[in-house]
């Protein structure tokens, strides 16, 4: 008789260099079940996933898969048992075609010495047919959308006879339309008896998709149960250990001080005739689907890729912003969309990342860094932004996503900006860190900083922004007060794009 559960983890513990990552973890996943694994960054989710997939060996505990018990599970054994992990980077080769990415693993597994390209194409066609999607199999993966890359990773997993697909933050870079399409694919996999374990911080997605929820905190089980047992408040409480209330940001008083005025700003192929004002103490939201031109606009305002035409006024002064140095000189700061590749030097220390934008101000008369000044600045921002680290000498890649984002903020806040542009400020961070970052943004606005938040996180925009601009095909097509539009209405405006 086939067991109801596919995988059962019992009393699993794991330490790294004396730090307890997991303690007595239990997790059961049934066949054909969709389960959400939730918890703040650093709670042990990634470690647990790596133990289930054989990448880490537990210090103690038992892993049962398909009725077989393992104390030590090797990656090849996990694959043979039908466990596939789709990480955020999808582990695909950008220089290969979609067909090659889907089929070559299967060819290698069969120890084929020569590649039959006709067979590769045929295998790939059959794989995408299983999930009923259309992908250009001849296209190089680097030219495909994030959504298509994800579908390629899913198709490849199915070729390995997947019984459990683990998806790590699967919707981070997807539009709402793409999220809906992905969920359709996930539910079709469930109907075929495939189990799904997905990691997500997005509450709406958890309640829309998951049948069961497992929440970890500080490496331990906190709660495990049917999704119907949870509401958003309960979910957040078990994740963070604290009650988090959602409130709208209120301007303390309307300001007449215009910090940034943009008139008919255009950049060929990216955005056209963009005009708006940003006032002192205001949080202005900009949203739109990927490809709407919102990121290109932010980069132009920061001098990374200057506009072709139009005018920019900073505090009523007509200003040319052709370089990043021009932007910094005008007290404009920019936190980029991808902190890992654009915002941080991952192998450098936390301290060095914090001071990198203000090194010149820390030099003594001999043009050497004044150690005392440097340490004062580093310690100030670690304390001010509550960056959780035992030492600022650790590489910044050792931090959780939320703390990495605080380091990027610290780097630019150290420049004492009057205008702060935040592109996806809370992408990939947990609910607790997200709330803390929102509070930092509000406090900066209350101190007179003008903040631009570029995001497709609708609740984030509605709760924090006084005004929201919607971009479509490189143009601003709508403006709404933060309290004058509902979540449903704003989602509809975005989907209309």
Q: Within a domain: residue 247? A: no
Q: Within a domain: residue 48? A: yes
Rg, C-alpha atoms of the chain: 24
Q: Within a domain: residue 248? A: no
- Looking at residue 428, which CATH number applies to its domain? 3.40.50.300
pLDDT confidence of residue 230:
92
Q: Within a domain: residue 250? A: no
pTM value is 0.73
| Cβ-based neighbours of 402, under 8 Å, separated by 6 or more | 40, 41, 429, 430, 432, 433, 434, 436, 437
The total number of structural domains that make up the chain: 2
- Helix, strand, coil percent content, the chain, rounded in steps of 5: 35, 25, 35
- Please indicate, yes or no, whether residues 200 and 267 belong to a single structural domain of this protein: no
Sign of the Cα pseudo-torsion (52, 56, 61, 66, in order): positive
- Please indicate, yes or no, whether residues 311 and 368 belong to a single structural domain of this protein: yes
- Please indicate, yes or no, whether residues 225 and 366 belong to a single structural domain of this protein: no
Q: Within a domain: residue 251? A: no
- Please indicate, yes or no, whether residues 481 and 335 belong to a single structural domain of this protein: yes
pLDDT confidence of residue 107:
67
The parent domain of residue 452 ranges over 258-495
- Please indicate, yes or no, whether residues 41 and 170 belong to a single structural domain of this protein: yes
Q: Within a domain: residue 245? A: no
Sign of the Cα pseudo-torsion (139, 144, 150, 153, in order): positive
427 to each of 89, 155, 204, 404, how far by Cα in Å? 14, 26, 15, 11
Query: Where among 240, 275, 298 does a domain terminate?
Result: 240
251 closest CA partner among 464, 404, 87, 24: 464
- Please indicate, yes or no, whether residues 397 and 479 belong to a single structural domain of this protein: yes
Q: Within a domain: residue 70? A: yes
160 closest CA partner among 215, 84, 232: 84
pLDDT, tens digit only, all 497 positions of the chain? 455 889 999 999 999 877 799 999 999 999 999 999 998 877 889 899 999 999 999 999 999 999 999 988 999 899 999 999 998 777 888 899 999 999 887 766 676 777 778 888 888 998 888 888 889 999 999 888 888 888 898 998 888 889 999 998 888 777 777 888 889 999 999 999 999 999 987 788 889 999 999 999 989 999 999 999 999 889 989 988 888 777 778 776 677 899 999 999 999 999 999 999 999 999 999 999 877 999 999 999 999 999 999 999 999 999 999 999 999 999 999 998 777 778 888 889 999 999 998 988 888 888 888 999 999 999 999 999 989 888 999 999 888 778 899 999 999 999 999 999 999 998 878 788 888 899 999 999 999 999 999 998 888 999 999 999 999 999 999 999 877 788 788 877 877 64
- Please indicate, yes or no, whether residues 236 and 289 belong to a single structural domain of this protein: no
- Please indicate, yes or no, whether residues 228 and 266 belong to a single structural domain of this protein: no
- Please indicate, yes or no, whether residues 207 and 274 belong to a single structural domain of this protein: no
Query: Where among 194, 213, 240 does a domain terminate?
Result: 240
Burial (CB count within 10 angstroms: exposed 0-12, middle 13-18, buried 19+), residue 256: exposed
Interatomic CA distance for residues 113 and 322, integer angstroms: 54
- Please indicate, yes or no, whether residues 226 and 283 belong to a single structural domain of this protein: no
pLDDT confidence of residue 1:
42
- Please indicate, yes or no, whether residues 157 and 39 belong to a single structural domain of this protein: yes
| Cβ-based neighbours of 454, under 8 Å, separated by 6 or more | 285, 286, 287, 294, 295, 298, 337, 421, 422, 423, 424
Query: Where among 240, 272, 300 does a domain terminate?
Result: 240
- Please indicate, yes or no, whether residues 360 and 488 belong to a single structural domain of this protein: yes
| Residue 226 C-beta-side C-alpha neighbours within 13 Å | 2
Written as one string, the DSSP assignment of 217-235 is ETTEEEEEEEGGG--HHHH
Q: Within a domain: residue 253? A: no
């Amino acid at each position: 008789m086939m067991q109801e559960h596919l995988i059962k983890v019992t009393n699993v513990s794991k330490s790294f260099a004396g730090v307890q990552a997991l303690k007595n973890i239990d997790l059961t996943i049934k066949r054909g079940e969709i389960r959400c694994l939730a918890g703040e960054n650093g709670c042990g989710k990634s470690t647990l996933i790596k133990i289930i997939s054989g990448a880490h060996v537990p210090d103690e505990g038992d892993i049962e898969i398909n009725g077989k018990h393992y104390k030590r599970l090797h990656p090849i054994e996990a694959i043979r048992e039908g466990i596939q992990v789709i990480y955020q980077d999808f582990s695909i080769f950008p220089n290969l075609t979609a067909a090659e990415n889907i089929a070559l693993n299967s060819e290698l597994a069969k120890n084929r010495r020569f590649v039959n390209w006709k067979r590769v194409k045929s295998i790939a066609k059959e794989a995408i047919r299983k999930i009923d999607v259309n992908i250009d199999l001849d296209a190089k993966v680097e030219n495909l959308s994030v959504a298509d890359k994800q579908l390629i990773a899913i198709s490849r997993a199915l070729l390995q006879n997947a019984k459990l697909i683990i998806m790590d933050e699967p919707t981070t870079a997807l539009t709402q339309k793409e999220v809906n399409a992905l969920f359709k694919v996930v539910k079709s996999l469930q109907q075929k008896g495939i189990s799904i374990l997905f990691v997500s911080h997005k509450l709406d997605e958890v309640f829309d998709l998951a049948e069961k929820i497992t929440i970890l905190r500080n490496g331990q089980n906190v709660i495990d149960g049917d999704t119907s047992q949870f509401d958003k408040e309960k979910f957040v409480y078990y994740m963070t250990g604290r009650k988090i209330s959602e409130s709208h940001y209120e301007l303390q008083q309307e300001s007449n001080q215009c910090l940034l005025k943009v008139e008919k700003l255009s950049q060929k192929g990216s955005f056209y005739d963009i005009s708006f004002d940003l006032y002192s103490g205001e949080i202005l939201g900009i949203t739109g689907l990927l490809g709407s031109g919102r990121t290109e606009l932010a980069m132009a305002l920061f001098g990374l890729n200057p506009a072709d035409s139009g005018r920019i006024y900073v505090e009523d002064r007509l200003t040319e912003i052709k370089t990043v140095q021009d932007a910094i000189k005008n007290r404009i700061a920019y936190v980029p969309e991808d902190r890992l590749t654009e915002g941080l030097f991952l192998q450098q220390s936390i301290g060095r990342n914090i001071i990198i934008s203000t090194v010149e101000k820390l030099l003594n008369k001999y043009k050497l860094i004044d150690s005392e000044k440097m340490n004062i600045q580093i310690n100030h921002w670690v304390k001010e932004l509550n960056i959780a680290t035992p030492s600022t000498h650790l590489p910044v890649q050792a931090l959780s996503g939320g703390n990495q984002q605080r380091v990027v903020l610290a780097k630019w806040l150290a420049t004492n900006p009057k205008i702060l542009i935040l592109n996806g400020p809370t992408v990939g961070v947990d609910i607790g860190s997200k709330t803390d970052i929102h509070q930092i943004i509000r406090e900066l606005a209350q101190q007179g900083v003008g903040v631009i938040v570029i995001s497709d996180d609708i609740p984030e925009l509605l709760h924090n922004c006084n005004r929201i601009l919607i971009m479509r095909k490189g143009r601003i097509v709508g403006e709404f007060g933060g309290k004058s539009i509902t979540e449903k209405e704003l989602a509809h405006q975005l989907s209309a794009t």
